[in-house]
Homo-oligomer: A and B are copies of this chain.
């Protein structure tokens, strides 16, 4: 099995189509990076790659039309081994069934993204296995069809179809998912000068628990605010207007209910904004937090957020990354 320590160049070309059909032999390994779901303004529909860690999924073609787990190593090893319950295998079962394959897949999973971190770990496993298995098909599917199988895997972790981490992990960059069936995924041209600061405190939040914190329903005032801000955010991206992105990068519908799940979040956010961040919110369900900042402010924002967690006696690690980097790719 090939497990190079650093990911190679993207397998996604500029048109967003996958080149995953070029693989030799009966085995493929895919690196699938961490990502940020929601990105403040886009609960369940917006996601951003944040390549600070990644899962590495190796899939081997086997003779029987079934799926096997060969092993799980890395940051998480106590994942479900029931094939229907594992994010890396559930989509492959469906793929075999849908396509009527007369062969199957053996999956070896090397977890690099901590579970329950809010950094898209389950999505990465689901995307990595789907991209790798697709590369072993006699007639590989389009990236949009791979997306569907990755979503099935991700649904195992969160209980429903959620594209906000799967989409950036697969397509790269900052992506909006208008629809999952049929897939309608839109790359947003975030200005190159914007950096993403990702901070991971040494805590865990279960996605299912985070969803349970949300009220059943929301008043129109909050909905109106959220729609105005995601619309303005998208306009800011296309206009290359960093100030407008900064005015728009806010969450009225999720963060207010989940913030208290992350100890110290309010002071971390305050510190980020004071240090010049365009905006700051939870990464997915948390506990990881992210901020966007101009390149010249990003290091200050990172330090401020780390210090704020430190003041709460919460150990944390943090990174500054670009937003327009590629998603999952063969290694």
Contacts and interface: CB of A to CB of B under 8 A. Distances in A.
Interface stretch (A109-117, A224-232, A298-306): A224-232
Given A235-B188, A235-B238, A223 B218 contact: yes
B43 A232 contact: no
A61 to B, nearest CB: 36
A219 B184 CA distance: 23
Contact of A227 (B42, B219, B239): B42
Contact of A231 (B224, B230, B253): B230
Interface string A33-62: 000000001111110000000000000000
A176 B232 contact: yes
A231 B179 CA distance: 12
B184 A227 contact: no
A178 interface: yes
A214 interface: yes
Contact of A186 (B44, B188, B244, B253): B244
Given A186-B232, A227-B42, A227-B227, A178 B248 contact: yes
Contacts of A43: 220, 223-224, 227
Interface of A: 41-46, 176-179, 184, 186, 188, 214, 216-220, 223-224, 226-235, 238-239, 244, 247-248, 253
Given A176-B231, A178-B247, A220 B214 contact: yes
A140 to B, nearest CB: 26
A45 B186 contact: no
A201 to B, nearest CB: 26
Contact of A228 (B179, B219, B229): B179
28 contacts: A41-B227, A42-B228, A43-B223, A43-B224, A44-B224, A176-B232, A178-B229, A178-B248, A179-B228, A179-B247, A184-B244, A186-B232, A214-B220, A216-B219, A217-B220, A218-B223, A223-B223, A223-B226, A227-B227, A227-B230, A230-B230, A231-B231, A231-B233, A231-B234, A234-B234, A234-B235, A238-B238, A238-B239
A58 B162 CA distance: 54
Contact of A178 (B176, B232, B253): B232
